[in-house]
Amino acid sequence: MRKFGMSAAAVVLLALPAAAQYPPPLPMEPYPAPGGYQPGMYAGGYAPDQLPPGAMPPMGMMPPGMMPPMGMMPPGMGMPPGAPPGGRAPDLSGYTYDPCNACVDPCARRYVRAIVHNEAWVRFDWLNWSFRDQPVPALIATGNPALPAAGVPGGGNYRALVGPSRDVGRFNGLRATVGSWFDCDGELGGELSAFVFARRGSADFFAGSATQPLTVPVLGANGVPAAYNFAFPGAFTGALGVRTATQLWSAEGNLLRRQHGDGCFHVDTLFGSRYMQLNERLDLVGRTQAAGGVATFNGAALPAGVVVNTTDAFRARTEFIGVQIGARGEYRHDMFTLSALGKVGAGANLQTLRVEGNTVASGFGVTRTALGGVRGLASNIGRSTNTDFSFVAETGAELGMQVTKFMSVRVGYNLLFWSDVLRPANVIDPVVAFSQVPIDPTFNPAVAATRPQTRFRSSDFLAHGLVVGFVLDW
């Protein structure tokens, strides 16, 4: 008994230093659970973020913002960038674990993973662009009526009232874009975009006067310059006019891949296809009436008082179908963004030309019509097509501001270049066969003629201007 007592005392004395290394047992008084936790989830009423120093909650009960210890990381969770080697505890300040692995904006709130800050977006833009001037030949001319050969090219008494180019003005348009990332790593995304400009036209009309005759200058098939008088003092009264119209639209679809993205700066590459269409027309219209002179129609003289109207219409359509590659980058700072874009495409231009012409004589209750005007005649009237190689390039830059969590506004400038475009003025042949012109005294449709002829001459097209829009992304 005495030996047993001494042994028990020795065990107690040896256990006292070891017991001092552990914290005292947890009190059993229940504590209220913090917001978001159900009461009774943890033993003793303790929530994980209220445990005494050194105590760890069970796995699966980590509070938000708290990283689990090394060796107990959830499956699939990696270390934040810049974690120190050698097993030392990483600096986790500023990082938050995203258990859902969702696409988030790491520039606004740094997450361990995710390099795209939105999953989908919709964008609408208002476009205010200028188009390159349309080349226009000298379709209307004048001269000094007191001198010979007024309005006839090459005679020294000639001044063009239209040409060599025509300002088509500024155009308003709309552009819509929708896109989505198929994964949060930016491995693949898709985007569809289209814009359309409202059809815009212009017109210039000139009325003859005692000091201003009006002519349509031409070059005869025999090489002799000439002019058809529509207004000349003492001989004819009349007017001439030129009308133009232009419309541009485009649609494209691209696959996207994020090459770099840390939330504050990203670069995406794109590859896709593009369709673009430019429609333009140019009309030359004239009206004349004999006033002392002799007007003719289909080779026969007309009585005084008969009105003759001529129309020459040239319509050109160019369609681009091709593939394109490009890249775009965006830098974010606080609520502002700076972005740039560049795309280059190559493909085929499908060119379609349609020429129309007619002459109408009316008076004394009778109206007669003839095929052909002055520049659109039997030898070139009709529809013709041509295919040519072309390339398209587009670039732009813009500034943006984040207005709400899901919406930003953008203001920028875009430039679009398109090679080998068919424009209507380029196809007008200056040479005509007099025998085909209904108002020419030598008109004879039985005489075979090859001029004017259909000509496909292309030129480059440039469009540029302001872009204002807003983006919704989430």
b (16+ CB within 10 A) / e for 102-141? ebbbbbeebbbbbbbbbbebebebebebebbebbbbbbbb
User: What tokens does 193 get?
Assistant: 């975009």
Residues 86 and 148 in one domain: no
Please indicate, yes or no, if residue 113 is contained in any of the structural domains.
Answer: no
Residues 165 and 289 in one domain: yes
Please state the domain count of the chain.
2
Please indicate, yes or no, if residue 406 is contained in any of the structural domains.
Answer: yes
* Residue 142 contacts residue 161 (beta carbons within 8 Å): yes
Residues 44 and 188 in one domain: no
Task: Identify the DSSP state of 10.
Answer: H
CA pair distance 474, 472, nearest whole angstrom:
7
User: What tokens does 171 get?
Assistant: 């155009």
Please indicate, yes or no, if residue 428 is contained in any of the structural domains.
Answer: yes
Residues 71 and 196 in one domain: no
Residues 86 and 223 in one domain: no
Which residue range is the domain that position 20 belongs to? 1-97
What are the two backbone dihedrals, phi and then psi, of residue 112, each rounded to the nearest 5 degrees?
-65, -35
Any bridge partners for residue 84, and if so which? none
pLDDT of residue 68: 53
CA dihedral sign, ordered 256, 261, 263, 265: negative
Residues 49 and 132 in one domain: no
Please name the residue that has the structure tokens 């008494």. 157
CA pair distance 125, 176, nearest whole angstrom:
6
User: What tokens does 185 get?
Assistant: 């790593």
Calculate the alpha carbon distances from 121 to 80, 176, 278, 330, 472 in Å.
Answer: 28, 11, 28, 15, 6
Residues 333 and 367 in one domain: yes
- What is the dihedral angle through the alpha carbons of 96, 99, 105, 110, rounded to the nearest 10 degrees? 10
Residues 70 and 23 in one domain: yes
pLDDT one digit per residue (tens) for the chain, 474 residues: 454 444 444 444 444 444 444 445 444 444 454 555 455 444 444 444 555 555 555 555 555 555 555 545 555 454 444 444 554 554 444 444 444 444 544 454 444 444 676 789 999 999 999 999 888 888 999 999 999 999 999 888 999 998 777 788 899 999 999 999 998 778 899 999 999 999 998 889 999 988 899 999 999 988 899 999 999 998 999 999 999 999 999 999 999 999 988 878 999 999 999 999 999 999 999 999 998 888 899 989 998 889 999 999 999 999 999 999 999 999 999 899 999 999 999 999 999 999 999 999 998 888 999 999 999 999 999 999 999 999 999 999 999 999 998 999 999 999 999 999 999 988 999 999 999 999 999 999 888 888 999 889 899 999 999 999 999 998
Please indicate, yes or no, if residue 106 is contained in any of the structural domains.
Answer: no
Please indicate, yes or no, if residue 225 is contained in any of the structural domains.
Answer: yes
441 prior amide bond cis, ω within 30? no
Under DSSP, is residue 17 helix (H, G, I), strand (E, B) or coil? Answer: helix
Please indicate, yes or no, if residue 379 is contained in any of the structural domains.
Answer: yes
* Residue 208 contacts residue 237 (beta carbons within 8 Å): yes
Residues 24 and 133 in one domain: no
Residues 214 and 132 in one domain: yes
User: What tokens does 123 get?
Assistant: 């964008």
CA pair distance 64, 49, nearest whole angstrom:
9
Please indicate, yes or no, if residue 111 is contained in any of the structural domains.
Answer: no
Q: What is the pLDDT of residues 283-342, one digit of tens each?
A: 999 999 998 888 899 989 998 889 999 999 999 999 999 999 999 999 999 899 999 999
pLDDT of residue 293: 84
Please indicate, yes or no, if residue 103 is contained in any of the structural domains.
Answer: no
164 prior amide bond cis, ω within 30? yes
CA pair distance 391, 274, nearest whole angstrom:
11
Under DSSP, is residue 396 helix (H, G, I), strand (E, B) or coil? Answer: strand
Gyration radius of the chain over CA positions? 40
Residues 70 and 153 in one domain: no
In CATH, what number is assigned to the domain containing residue 214? 2.40.128.100
* Residue 325 contacts residue 365 (beta carbons within 8 Å): no
Residues 138 and 71 in one domain: no
